[in-house]
Amino acid sequence: MSKWSRGNLRPIKSLNLLSYREIQGLMSSQSEVRKLFRECALAVLNSGSTEDDVNKLLEAYEDFEIHVERESRGPKLSVENAPASAFVDGRMIRGIQDHLFSVLRDIVYLNHSMSLDGVYDLNSRRGITDVVFDILRNATIVRPNLKADLVVCWGGHSISRPEYEFTKDVGYQLGLRGLNIATGCGPGAMKGPMKGAAIGHSKQQIEHRRYIGISEPGIIAAEAPNPIVNELVILPDIEKRLEAFVRVAHSIVVFPGGAGTAEEVLYLLSILMHEKNKDIPFSFVMAAQKDSEDYFIALDDFIRATLGEEATKYYEIIIGDAEEVGRSVRKSVDLIRKHRRHNGESYGFNWELYIESDLQNPFEPTHENMASLKLERGLPANELAGHMRKAFSGIVAGNVKAFGLEQIRQNGPFRLSGEPEIIEQLEKLLNKFIAQKRMKIDVENYEPCWIFADA
């Protein structure tokens, strides 16, 4: 691995004006926070990589160091042994430098703020939503006087070239219609819509272009920010990341992916199927090229068999027609804008949606927690969707997250159990994902990180 030796960096946009007390807070952060900052910073510096194993990245750059230094003008970063790809002629690429200070802002500064007594009530639904809002506002993702025009795109980081081209086509159609893009910030279906939208924006001569990357510490090393992201924000965990997506979205478009995409779909359905959200308009589209419709056929069959036909009314599936996706989303966004204007609601942050505490509290994918999931038809459909979301979250962790990989290494595959009909459908869907090679990048003989209890 080629490396760049050493240098000092100053902020371009983020954190360029801090008080002495704030800088002291940054420098005195707990060792665990500093370790997290180092790992996330390395992921940003490794932007453009297709490697999705965090342990391999950390091993390749085990001598990488980054430190916060105090100056009267604000914090400065000292970087040693960083990936050479982040530099051009000895200077760090400006977009990567900006993202590096975004990491500093979100990981170190936020952890310092959240450690102060009485600032946030993390035991209440509203308190957690306040945290999400403050993180997004601090990152200027949410700000006043913005149009209702943000489309969140979900989908796999490991997809075929034709699938990637289709995500670009959809992004192009969205960009032509003046819509901005937010994704999980990585490669594949997260990069394609941004790239397509950038061309659409350019053709329409739109100056204010937003390509927002929303990540979290456990996944950013596996899904490093792609080169098009011009606004980066890192939420503390997957649950707050998912809530951030849903709160800022004026529409959500889902492309084929793997277990992580299924997790996102089930999370969203768990919210939309809640009784308190029945009258709130929401735009939810699943889109794929014709040759990839098998992903959504499998997912749609799974949803019908586990959550019932009622669940299908919350989404639209569009196959092979990027222009129709653009038209459908633009129409829905206009309706949502009118609804929020009529009700005096915020354009930039959807406070209306009711999100249960069980969807907000971090789910730790230990073997005990995975085995304890309630995968039973007796639950209300929205609650069952929430528990199935956790099962997929654990599988994602077992595939690419450092904590999950270590759990599997020490204790073997996660064990899943539940009502036979639910387990049968879950097994069928996961086997289809494996057959479609949607679990890990460049893994020919994928080894599942789960087994079923009666196996």
Helix (H) or strand (E) holding 35: helix 31-45
What is the Rg, in whole angstroms, of the alpha carbon atoms belonging to the chain? Answer: 21
Q: Rounded CA gap, 260 and 397, in Å?
A: 9
The Cβ of residue 64 has, within 10 Å, a number of other Cβ atoms equal to 21
293 burial class (0-12, 13-18, 19+ CB within 10 angstroms)? Answer: middle
pLDDT at residue number 56: 79
* Structural domain contains residue 28: yes
Same domain, 174 and 49: no
State the pLDDT at residue 308.
Answer: 96
User: 19 lies in which domain range?
Assistant: 3-119
Q: How many domains does the chain divide into?
A: 3
Residue 6: is it exposed, middle or buried by C-beta count within 10 angstroms (0-12/13-18/19+)?
exposed
CA proximity to 349, closest of 105, 133, 89, 67 = 133
- Among 343, 377, 392, the domain-final residue is 343
Domain boundary among 119, 151, 166: 119
Residue 419 domain-assigned (yes or no): yes
User: Is 94 domain-assigned?
Assistant: yes
On whether residue 127 sits in a domain, the answer given is no
Per-residue confidence (pLDDT) for residue 302, from 0 to 100? 98
Q: Do 288 and 370 fall within a single domain?
A: no
Burial class from Cβ neighbours inside 10 Å (0-12, 13-18, 19+) for residue 12 reads: middle
72: domain CATH number is 3.30.1850.10
Give me the tens of pLDDT residue by residue for the chain, a chain 455 residues long.
566 666 677 776 656 556 666 666 665 666 777 888 888 899 898 886 666 666 778 888 888 988 887 766 667 888 888 888 888 888 889 889 899 888 888 887 777 677 666 678 888 999 999 999 999 998 999 998 888 999 999 999 888 999 999 999 999 999 999 999 999 999 999 999 999 999 999 999 999 999 999 999 888 877 889 999 999 999 999 999 999 999 999 999 999 999 999 999 999 999 999 999 999 999 999 999 999 999 999 999 999 999 999 999 999 999 999 999 999 999 999 999 999 999 999 999 999 999 999 999 999 999 999 999 999 989 999 999 999 999 999 999 998 888 898 999 999 999 999 999 999 999 999 999 999 888 876 667 888 999 998 64
Answer yes or no: do 158 and 86 share one domain: no
* In-domain check, residue 222: yes
Same domain assignment for residues 190 and 92: no
Spatial separation of the C-alpha atoms in residues 59 and 293, rounded to whole Å: 38
161 Cβ contact partners less than 8 Å away, ≥ 6 residues apart: none
Is 228 a domain residue?
yes
- Spell out the long-range contacts of 422-425 with Cβ–Cβ below 8 A and sequence spacing 24 or more: 422/306, 422/375, 422/376, 422/377, 422/384, 422/388, 423/375, 423/452, 425/302, 425/305, 425/306
Same domain, 86 and 142: no
The verdict on 292 and 181 lying in the same domain is yes
| Residue 440 Cα to chain centre, angstroms | 17
> Is 258 in the same domain as 365?
no
364 shares a domain with 250: no
Q: What is the CB neighbour count within 10 angstroms for residue 190?
A: 30
pLDDT at 455: 46
Backbone angles phi, psi at 7, to 5 degrees: -175, 170
Residue 109, amino acid: Y
Q: Are residues 238 and 263 in the same domain?
A: yes
Residue 211's contacts (CB-CB under 8 Å, 6 or more residues apart) are: 180, 181, 182, 194, 197, 198, 228, 229, 230, 231
Residues 298 and 180 in one domain: yes
- Asked whether residue 163 is domain-assigned, the answer is yes
Asked if residue 222 and residue 361 are part of one domain, the reply reads no
Asked if 382 and 312 sit in the same domain, the reply is no
Q: What integer pLDDT is reported at residue 20 of this predicted model?
A: 62
- Domain holding 303: CATH number? 3.40.50.450
From 59, 94, 119, the end of a domain falls on 119
Give the per-residue pLDDT at 106: 87
- pTM exceeds 0.85: yes
Residue 366 lies in a domain: yes
